[in-house]
Amino acid sequence: MPLLSTRHHAIIPATILAIALTACGGPSATHLFDGQSLEGWEHVGKGGFTIEDGALKTVGGMGLLWHTLEKLGDTTIRIVYRGERPNSNAGVFIRIPEKPKDPWFPVHFGYEVQIQDESDKLHRTGSLYSLSTAETFPPSPDGWNTMEITLAGQTTTVTVNGTQVNVFEGSQSVPPRVKWFEPRRGPRPDAGYIGLQNHDKESTVWFREVSVLR
């Protein structure tokens, strides 16, 4: 079972946030994490996630917290996260074709949008891990970074703190696979489950928002 703590502070309800966005003429946000529970999520693998001050916090690993309620395609996923250090390691998995039985399934059959603010282009925040580069990492002033992942058919577009850093076409050529833990090459589905990675005991990352813009 995932780890769960009881430390909570005041959380703005997801419905209020969605109404505010709609009133401003933007898309409404459906929050997949409610700031208080792991309802709609399941964990596989080592470690887990606690809830601390309204945010998911990675604990140990390697593990995967995946959202069970629906497959996502042709939409934008918004993640607001903060790493304990610039090299704190985590990831957002997309296009997972079926229920993952272990944390390696989405590595090889989905895509990992990497979170590691200080790394090379193929492995830093916004890259599709070892497949497609993130050209830059634009930091935020307060350490909380906003990543938006837009799925449109086989096109994946990633922005970080308002700057587009990566566009990946499912049919484009990719670097050869050189290490056993790198993802298997090949096509992924247009829609799939999403998940968050807790990578290792040395890496701590907080996620205070996981939402879908509709």
- pLDDT tens digit sequence for 161-192: 999 999 999 999 999 999 999 999 999 999 99
> In angstroms, rounded to a whole number, what is the distance separating the alpha carbons of residues 52 and 36?
9
State phi, psi for 16 to the nearest 5 degrees: -65, -40
- pLDDT tens digit sequence for 106-163: 999 999 999 999 999 999 999 999 999 999 999 999 999 999 999 999 999 999 999 9
Q: Taking the mean position of all CA atoms in its chain, how far away is CA 2?
A: 17
| CATH fourth-level superfamily of 14-213 | Exo-inulinase; domain 1 (2.60.120.560)
Residue among 158, 131, 130 nearest 145 (CA): 158
- CB count within 10 Å of CB 19 equals 13
> In angstroms, rounded to a whole number, what is the distance separating the alpha carbons of residues 65 and 128?
18
Residue among 166, 136, 172 nearest 148 (CA): 166
